[in-house]
Amino acid sequence: MLAKVKSLGLVGIQGYEVRVEADLNNGLPKFDIVGLPDASIKESKERIRSAIKNSNFKFPITKVTVNLAPADVKKEGPIYDLPIAVALLVCTEEIVCENLKDFTFIGELSLDGSIQKVAGVLPSLITARKLGHKKVIIPKENSLEASFIDGIDVFGASNLQEVVELLNGTKTFEPVPKRKFAELQTDDVQSNDFCYIRGQAQAKRALEIACAGGHNILMIGPPGAGKTMLARSIPTIMPDLTFDEALEVTKIHSIAGTLDLNEGIVWQRPFRSPHHTTTIIALTGGGRNAKPGEISLAHHGVLFLDELPEYNRHTIETLRQPLEDGIITIARNTATIEYPASFMLVASMNPCPCGNFGSRKRECKCSPSNIAKYLGKISGPLLDRIDLHIEVDDIAYEDLVAKDHLEEKSEKIKERVNKARNIQLQRYNNSKHFSNSKMTNAEMKKFCVLDKECEDLMQQAFDSLALSARAYSRILKVARTIADLEGEENIKLEHLAEAIGYRSLDKKYQFR
Amino acid sequence: MTEKTYLLLSQANVSSKKILEYIGICEGSDHAFECLQKGSNFELFSAKEIEQIENIINQNRLKEFEFGLNKLGIKYITYENEKFPERLKQIYDPPAILYYRGNINILSEDSIAIVGSRVCTRYGMEQTKIFSNKLTKAGFVIVSGLAEGIDSIAQRECVENGGKTIAVLAGKLNNIYPFINEGLANEIVEKGGVLISELNPSANIKGYHFIQRNRIIAGLALGVFVPEASEKSGSLATVNFAIENGRQIFALPGQVNSSKSAGTNRLIRSLQACCVLEPNHIIEQFPQFKKQKLDKQKAVQLDLSEQMVLSLLENEEMHYDQILEKSQMDSKSLNSLLTRMEIRGLIVRLAGNSFARKV
């Protein structure tokens, strides 16, 4: 007897339908899986055999052939355990279900018949909904991932027995209850609140602008000045994720297996800080199965690179293209996969090898050529893509111990950031991005109109600071964000001047 | 014949002192060449030097050297050449041969050396620019060592103002040290200056070459000006050579607690150097040059907040946080104000987030 069961496969974050076919033939007992399975699927045989037996069902004592169609795409992962087991049970008539074709199955089996959690459930469900599948059975542990997908019934099953009962109709199961995204935005205690950081007014202001518009930022300062602390506090003032953004982010984290299954969705902007020993593959994604890398995991969030010059130069140069395009294309011989990678780059570095160049307190012992060499580790093209350069200096002792001096709380800053971000969300209602930093050229023409006064200033700045064309457009984008923070319709002179002021690194550190 | 003697001995890595001594013993460079062929008077040289000399003679490699120099665009003048500056001949240990690129005629012109620390402060940097600028405009040729810091700042300022400058290198002319000044070196040659070195282009550079070239700097110039030097700076070696050879020394005073000015302050205190406060103090020592007018600040229209910031920066550079505190402004308007002032050329932004009045 022949059985056909539906399942889903993933290439990157894009899904496709997989049909699992099982057939019993006369012959010596044998279990074959065809249709380009990888090693973990070939091992499925053993798990399925035991799982069926230990769930008190019969395993067919004949020649069993399983096909995963389409047969020309390589399948990977243990998610086909459940559909194969179901197909076999249909063959042996343990399952008698008339509307089997309404169901889609994803899940890994363990030997005792229980269903284990798998990666990539959310993108699979989104595909299932697109393909018009009606009911999906997934591992119970993944069921929270399903709670935000409307228009499709998802059942969380904890073992094979339950699946059989559900299909045979001997027991009724409720689909996973839906949740509302807005309800997730709960207040939690922030340990990295900005109010704990004393002084650094300029840095805080720049971070506020960076967060509001999603701009890249570079912090330079002597060791111990508080660069890392400032960076760690960024999540507390990042604008809230919108539902669309959250789904995109969750898709990636679901595939990478980094999703918190107790949450089921990523509802806070990710903050990724890979160590400086990171490899290119770990950063950009890739490897045998072309997994998403740190830059994709930081999608719609922050990628923090502490001590930027310590990174392998080739590694950080790979950031150039994603910084511009917001996606990364990974080409491997098995597949070419595109992952979104629209992140906000936050980097920190010392101004020189000893770290004290420009410090008010300590003397720098580096020779000019050593400093130039150190700064030269970060290429011009990369620096050009960073909109805001700020210097973080040691703060004075009086500021450090002042008790009566109350710093602004993250909450307050976040309020302003959210307000500015909402203006942007409305403005870019019809485009694919959400922030000023990703503005297209056409949009810039429309939204970044300069008056005569501003144009004169830009002209002077262009000459005196020797800006590149890219710098020009990036300054305009930052100016737009500053204007949004002020709630202004048009960019004004002071907004533009402030934006220009954040791009002065290259000039300051020249030794002429 | 004359020049070949010098070239041969220089290529054999014989020191200038010995070259001149040998030529003296052999009664003239023409005769010295014959002596070299015959191998007479060789007791002056070390075994290694003799081996190299014989090597060059036996394998007839002198042509090869000349061809190589030609290819690199490097020329040379010897002690006996008419273009060899008189002033340089008068020092205790003059170079026997000078390899050069550029306009050799300026070696005999009236020149002043500007030397100082490689790691310099902003004060040193600014003053060096002012002095180099005015001395260039007064007509001096600027001599220096093309090192990082004061040297290259002085020479760049000179070149940018259409002046001529002599860069005395310790190393080879085909391999500029430090590497980052290679662009400047080419510019010096293009703008009518000259790069000179005593070291032959196939030799290896050693630490003592740096000290030795300082005597050439001191020898070429009428006087030596030190804008900034720490207690152990190499520029003080130049000063010592200059004192030995009767050149005038000028030093710029610095803050008494600044280690970067300790050397210059000591020179002034011990009366070895003439204390100068402005470029004219140097120029007036040389009656053939005309004093220069100092630049006046251009009158610009300032609004109240700009005036306030400028008055804050009147005497010292100030960190952003201090300006923020003293000006009572919020950080967004201050950021904007400072940038506008920077673009207008009223202030400069320094490393470490400090600001200063532009000079």
- Compare CB distances from A205 to B149, B178, B331 and report the shortest one's residue: B331
Output the pLDDT for position A506.
58
Q: How far apart are CA A118 and CA A98, in angstroms?
A: 28
Output the pLDDT for position A112.
94
* Test the A interface: residue of B182, B259, B318, B335 with most A CBs within 10 Å: B335
| Three-state DSSP class for residue A64 | strand
Q: How far apart are CA B56 and CA B9, in angstroms?
A: 9
For the record, the structure tokens of A404 come out as 């009566």
Query: Residue A45: which residues within 8 A CB-CB, separation 6 or more?
Result: A31, A33
Mean pLDDT of chain B: 90
Residues 172-201 of A with CB under 8 A from B: 199, 201
Q: How far apart are CA A50 and CA A460, in angstroms?
A: 76
Q: How far apart are CA A281 and CA A278, in angstroms?
A: 8
Q: How far apart are CA A378 and CA B180, in angstroms?
A: 17
A358-417 pLDDT, tens digit each: 777 777 888 777 888 888 888 888 888 888 988 888 777 777 776 666 788 888 899 999
Cβ atoms of residues A448 and A407 within 8 Å: no
B180 touches chain A (CB under 8 A): yes
Q: How far is A339 from chain B (nearest CA, A)?
A: 37
A495 touches chain B (CB under 8 A): yes
Residue of A nearest to B180 (CA): A369
A482/B148 Cβ within 8 A? no
Residue of B nearest to A199 (CA): B321
B153/A497 Cβ within 8 A? no
**H/E/C letters for each residue in B275-321?**
ECCCHHHHHCCCCCCCCCCCCCCCCCCCCHHHHHHHHHCCCCCEEHH
Going by their DSSP bridges, the two strands A108-109 and A30-34 should be labelled as unpaired
B321-357 pLDDT, tens digit each: 888 888 888 888 888 888 888 888 888 888 778 888 8
Q: Which residues in chain B touch residue A512, judged by CB atoms under 8 angstroms apart? A: 153, 156
- Compare CB distances from A202 to B335, B337, B343 and report the shortest one's residue: B335
Picking from B73, B263, B42, B10, the residue whose alpha carbon sits closest to that of residue B150 is: B263
Q: Which residues in chain A touch residue B345, judged by CB atoms under 8 angstroms apart? A: 464
Classify B104-283 by CATH class.
alpha beta
Q: Quick one: average pLDDT of B160-166?
A: 94
A330 strand-pairing partners? A337
Q: Which residues in chain B touch residue A465, judged by CB atoms under 8 angstroms apart? A: 343
B321/A395 Cβ within 8 A? yes
DSSP structural state of residue A311: S
Cβ atoms of residues A126 and A247 within 8 Å: yes
Write down the H helix ranges in A139-225. Answer: 160-168, 201-213
Show the CA angle centred on residue A262, arms to residues A261 and A266, nearest 5°: 70
Output the pLDDT for position A188.
60
Q: Where are the domains of chain B?
A: 2-72, 104-283, 304-357
Cβ atoms of residues A47 and A113 within 8 Å: no
Q: Which residues in chain A touch residue B353, judged by CB atoms under 8 angstroms apart? A: 202, 358, 390-391, 393
CATH number of the domain at A2-168, out of 3.30.230.10, 3.40.50.300, 3.30.365.10, 3.30.200.20? 3.30.230.10
| Three-state DSSP class for residue A123 | helix
Q: Within a 10 A sphere around the Cβ of B294, how many other Cβ atoms? A: 10
Question: ipTM surpassing 0.85, yes or no?
Answer: no
- Compare CB distances from A201 to B149, B259, B321 and report the shortest one's residue: B321
How big is chain A, counted in residues? 512
- Measured in degrees and rounded to the nearest 5, phi and psi for residue B111 equal -135, 160
**H/E/C letters for each residue in A345-385?**
EEEEECCCCCCCCCCCCCCCCCCHHHHHHHHCCCCHHHHHC
| Three-state DSSP class for residue A129 | helix
Q: How far apart are CA A294 and CA A280, in angstroms?
A: 10
Q: How far apart are CA A57 and CA A55, in angstroms?
A: 6
**Alpha carbon B6 to chain centroid distance?**
26
CA distances from B70 to A90, B73, B171, B191, B196 (A): 91, 5, 18, 21, 15
Q: How far is B197 from chain A (nearest CA, A)?
A: 22
- Measured in degrees and rounded to the nearest 5, phi and psi for residue A207 equal -65, -35
Going by their DSSP bridges, the two strands B165-169 and B75-78 should be labelled as unpaired
CA distances from A346 to A18, A221, A472 (A): 41, 14, 20
Picking from B217, B241, B225, B219, the residue whose alpha carbon sits closest to that of residue B114 is: B225
B148 touches chain A (CB under 8 A): yes
Q: Within a 10 A sphere around the Cβ of A172, how many other Cβ atoms? A: 7
Output the pLDDT for position B61.
87
Q: How far is B103 from chain A (nearest CA, A)?
A: 25
Phi-psi sector, B149: left (phi>0), alpha (psi -120 to 50), beta? left
Q: How far apart are CA A210 and CA A216, in angstroms?
A: 6
Picking from B21, B87, B52, B348, the residue whose alpha carbon sits closest to that of residue B202 is: B52
Q: How far is B335 from chain A (nearest CA, A)?
A: 5
Query: Residue A351: which residues within 8 A CB-CB, separation 6 or more?
Result: A220, A221, A222, A357, A358, A371, A375, A391, A509, B351, B352
B319/A464 Cβ within 8 A? no
Q: Tell the residue number behind the tokens 């018949």, with chain if given.
A: A113
B245-295 pLDDT, tens digit each: 999 999 999 999 888 899 999 999 999 999 999 999 999 999 988 888 877
Q: Which residues in chain B touch residue A457, judged by CB atoms under 8 angstroms apart? A: 340, 343
Q: How far is A221 from chain B (nearest CA, A)?
A: 7
For the record, the structure tokens of A114 come out as 């229980």
Query: Residue B287: which residues within 8 A CB-CB, separation 6 or more?
Result: none
Q: How far is A272 from chain B (nearest CA, A)?
A: 28
Q: State the helix-helix crossing angle for A469-486 and A452-464, rounded to 10 degrees.
A: 140
Q: How far apart are CA A485 and CA A424, in angstroms?
A: 10
What's the pLDDT band for B298 if we cut at 50, 70, 90?
Answer: low
A494/B336 Cβ within 8 A? yes
B344/A504 Cβ within 8 A? no
Q: Quick one: average pLDDT of B155-170?
A: 94
CATH number listed for the domain at residues B304-357: 1.10.10
Q: Where are the domains of chain A?
A: 2-168
Output the pLDDT for position A484.
94
**Segment holding A49, helix H or strand E:** helix A44-54
* Test the A interface: residue of B340, B348, B350, B355 with most A CBs within 10 Å: B340
Q: Which residues of chain A have pLDDT under 70?
A: 185-190, 402-405, 504-512
Q: Is B186 exposed, middle or buried (0-12, 13-18, 19+ CB in 10 A)?
A: middle
Q: Which residues in chain A touch residue B148, judged by CB atoms under 8 angstroms apart? A: 367-369, 511
Q: Which residues in chain B touch residue A399, judged by CB atoms under 8 angstroms apart? A: 321
| Three-state DSSP class for residue A512 | coil
A508/B339 Cβ within 8 A? no
B178/A369 Cβ within 8 A? yes
Q: Which residues in chain B touch residue A464, judged by CB atoms under 8 angstroms apart? A: 342-343, 345
B179/A358 Cβ within 8 A? no
Q: Tell the residue number behind the tokens 């000015």, with chain if given.
A: B261
A372/B350 Cβ within 8 A? no
B54-89 pLDDT, tens digit each: 888 888 888 888 899 999 999 999 999 999 999 999
Cβ atoms of residues B352 and A393 within 8 Å: yes
* Test the A interface: residue of B318, B331, B350 with most A CBs within 10 Å: B331
